[in-house]
Structure 1
Amino acid sequence: MPHTNKEEGLKRVIGVAGLSLNIINVTVGAGIFALPAIVGIELGAFSIFAYLFCGIMMAAIMLCYAEIGTRITSSGGSYAYVENVFGDYAGFIVSWLAVFGWSILGSAALMNVIADSLAVLFPVFLNPWIRGLLYLVLIGFLVLTNIRGAKEGVALIEGITIIKLLPLFGIIIFGISLINADNLHWEHLPSFNTFSNTTLILFFAFAGFETALGVSGEIKNPQRTIPLGILFGGGLVLILYLLLQTVTQGVLGAEIGSVGDAPLAAVAENIVGPIGGTILLIAAAISCFGAVSTDILNTPRVIYAGSTDGLFPKFLSKIHPKFATPYWSISCFAGLIFVFANFGSFKELALLASAAILLIYLLVVLATISLRMKKQENVEKSFKVPGGLVIPIFGIGSIIWLLTSLSKGEIIATLIFIAVVSGIYFVMKGIKKRYGSKIR
């Protein structure tokens, strides 16, 4: 088993505020600009309770991340946690699920959302060459920023997060006075299947917080910073979502089904007129850019950690001699986002990403339980989820419940992906064994 606190040559510069804003930024993505309508159409005013229920589910998972994150503080996030507890094979699967099944395709899709949003205002961005140039400029800027250091990357994220949240807070503050109380009543309870499927959608609105822990090796005082960062970041996300859904449902009511994918823009138009829709459209583009910037900050650290353990090519673990950042991992990860943003088709692979994040969460919660059962030094200095195994088991049950909501096609695609990755692992292991070396 690798050392959980090994010196990696990375600088620990990220504090509670940076981690909290990182979590908020990666979680509050483009989905929140469309989510209130999707949920409102299915559940109506009862949607508020779906948010609460989903928030409790995610809290259980986040608490498990907080516990294991204070015991395993090396870079890599979910990969580091699972690999330390369950070994190379499980870590290999998680690393591929996280990097290829979730991050690259997700960020590439967000880059397309940025271009699509701008195209509404500036039709020139419908041109594929102009879109490609836009991707090159934006991704290139993020690469240069993050290579200069995690501190610079977090500073950029903090600025984007503030800009992104301002219009959302504006909708909440100025929209409350426009709420019609009749729009917040419901005549009947939704069916269990409807509630289950909608909760699955809400789950993905909360998913992604764990990528903020990909910089674990650069978090100062992780035993304190990680629990507080998760508490503040996750708590603010839940409150923000609840308030936005309440205002949107209260203002639009039955009209929520006619606003398509832009319910918040519709609310903004009710508040300040047509200019409000334009502001929210720009905010959606900024939100996507912020999510991509967070991914380029965090996921390369997962690649870096996997490279140091032999899961990816060795050059990806090289540290910049001046800035002490994994510059090859950052550059290659961003390059793949650029390629898929320009040439990839993400609709089918997005289904795989949904299952991928659920499986990662399941393995991390199981790793938390397993690690708790083992004797470790300095355990008294780490955070421990209260209530014994109640919360971790609740988290496992919630994840399994959501997995049962996946379609047959999603389940088959996930199994095929895992089978292919497993084949790669055992081929690599056989080759390295033949030449007298271990997989790590």
Structure 2
Amino acid sequence: MALKDEGLKRRIGVLGLSANIINIIIGAGIFALPAIIASKMGATSIFAYLFCGLLIALVMLCFAEAGSRVNNTGGPYTYIETAFGDYAGFLGGVFVIVSALFADAAVSNALIDMLATTYPIFENNGMRLAFLFVILSGLALLNVIGLKQGIGLVKFNTVAKLIPLLLLITLGWKGVSIENLQFDSYPSLKTLGETSLILFFAFQGAETGLIVGGEIINPKRNVPRGIFISIVTVVGIYMLIQGVSQGVLGEDLPNFTAAPLAETAKAIFGSFGFTLLFLGAMISMFGYLSGSILNNPRVLYALSRDRVIPIKKLSRIHLSFTTPYISIIVYAALCFIIAASGSFKQLAVIASGSMLIIYFLVSLAVIRLRFKQKRHPAEFRIPGGLLVPLLSMGIILYFLYHLSKNEMIGTLIFIAALSLIFMVIKYFKTGQ
């Protein structure tokens, strides 16, 4: 049973929540995304953004209703645990942590790799480890000191990463050729589906921004508003970026998979444009990490708070800073270990599959919570009855169906192992 948060303070408003979600979604992927999508759909890529934006909006509507009903810290874990109990909550919480840790490790290494292209000293293993330690420990310290400082950095990073993108969007149209945006036929449903599957992963992140539910002011109002603002903003920015990149580089866009936006800016503004977008990519990666270190340790805190995992110290709140300081330190340490080892690549597929499972469980939780809890007037309720949750579940099953056989087997083995661990933990808890 999810317990009430004790010691955490509600300090995040709708703008802070929106910035938190946007900061997480617009990570490193957008700086390589246009080339990948253009290679599959060319000038018709815009339809994939519209289609994927619609799909993620359906999923996030489920998060909005669940978030207005269950407003403790823990995000998707708390929604699942409240709806289905400890076992489902345990699986959901571990899936959230696993996905987040491996994603953070990947972004950390991508940040260093980008630095190494300009400063070869970062190719040295000792320098890489030192840089990882400084970045992750620094972000951990900042978030231990206080939520206000952590969310302040998130707001700053959100603005800083959007500035170069917005400059490219607003000033880049002067280099756009209308011919590069024209198309003679529409994409097939198969092509649209395959491309949208890639984009679906690029839109992930809103669920991470909701983990701080126990620290959001008036969550019944601000959670739906924050999700709406962030999703509309992200879809709009993604579509405009794709349009500018396609319009400027045309058929050459798929050739610049490493840094398509930097190459687009270079074609428009020269070397200054390349440098601006290069820095923008680095800020975006750093911003992603800052948001992750702010949000994801709260899942460890929530798992400990609800006694789903038998480590009570993870739910301790700092007396002076009112933050879950031990969870933050432990999460940052785990991230450092995985990033330093580089072994995260072997489990990246499981991490991706686990996020789809989380989305499915949250959509299912909305249906369960409607029957389990009495409705309060202040709660947000998705219009259309069960249509949106059922559509979300159907879409997610479609994506899971397209995982490879090895990916499916790996995910099932992972679930079986977690189930065994849960049974062992429960046995020792009942035996005490």
TM-score (norm 2): 0.97
5+ long unaligned stretches in structure 1: 436-440
Query: Structure 2: which amino acid aligns with 1:207?
Result: Q
Q: Give the equivalent residue in structure 2 for 1:364.
A: 362
Q: Give the TM-score taking structure 1 as reference length.
A: 0.96
Residue identity in the other structure for 1:186: F
Q: What letter corresponds to residue 57 of structure 1 in structure 2?
A: L
Count of equivalent residues: 431
Contact 2:83 2:372 in 1 (8 A): no
Aligned partner of 2:374 in structure 1 is 376
Identity score, percent: 48
Shift of 1:294: 0.7
Q: Counterpart of 1:109?
A: 106
Q: CA offsets per residue over residues 98-144 of structure 1, 9 Å max, x none?
A: 001x1111101111011011111111011111111111111121111
Which residue among 347, 350, 356 is the counterpart of 1:349?
347
Q: Does 1:81 pair with 2:112?
A: no
Is the Cα contact below 8 Å between 1:118 and 1:282 reproduced in 2? Answer: no
Counterpart-to-counterpart distance in 2, 1:186 and 1:353 = 36
Q: CA deviation at 1:232?
A: 0.7
Alignment deviations for residues 66-90 of structure 1 (CA, whole Å, 9 cap, x no partner): 1110110111000000000000000
Q: Distance between the aligned counterparts of 2:45 and 2:354, measured in 1?
A: 26
Distance in 2 between the 1:270 and 1:243 partners? Answer: 17
Local SS of the residue matching 1:380: coil
Cα shift at 1:400? 1.0
Q: State whether structure 2 residue 292 is matched by structure 1 residue 284.
A: no
Partner of 1:161: 158
Note the alpha carbon deviations across 1:271-307, whole angstroms, 9 max, x for none.
1112322222221111111111111111111110000
2:384 alignment partner, SS class: coil
| Structure 1 residue 7 displacement after superposition | 4.2
Structure 1 residue corresponding to 2:400, chosen from 394, 399, 403:
403
Output the amino acid matched with 2:215.
Answer: E
Aligned to 2:292: 295
Structure 2 counterpart of 1:83, one-letter code = E
Partner of 1:438: none
CA distance in structure 2 between the partners assigned to 1:195 and 1:224 by the alignment: 35
Structure 1 counterpart of 2:418, from 405, 410, 421: 421
In structure 2, runs of 5+ residues without a counterpart are none
CA deviations on 1:131-176 (whole Å, 9 max, x unpaired) are 1111111112111110111111000011111111111001101111
Say which of 226, 238, 244 aligns to 2:235. Answer: 238
| Displacement after TM superposition at 1:347 (Å) | 2.1
Deviations 1:171-208 (A, max 9, x none): 10111122111111223344443322211110011011
2:127 is matched with 130
Q: Which range moves more in the overlay, 307-316 or 122-131?
A: 307-316
Residue aligning to 1:314: 312
Alignment match, 1:336 = 334
1:326 equivalent to 2:324? Answer yes
In 1, are the aligned partners of 2:15 and 2:226 still within 8 Å (CA)? yes
CA RMSD of aligned residues (A): 1.2
Structure 1 residue 53 corresponds to structure 2 residue 54: no
Secondary structure of the residue aligned to 2:383 is: coil
Supply the distance in 2 between the matched residues of 1:52 and 1:427 (Cα, whole angstroms). 46
Instruction: Name the CA distance, whole Å, in 2 between partners of 1:7 and 1:255.
Output: 53
Q: Distance in 2 between matches of 1:420 and 1:373?
A: 31
Letter in 2 for 1:330: I
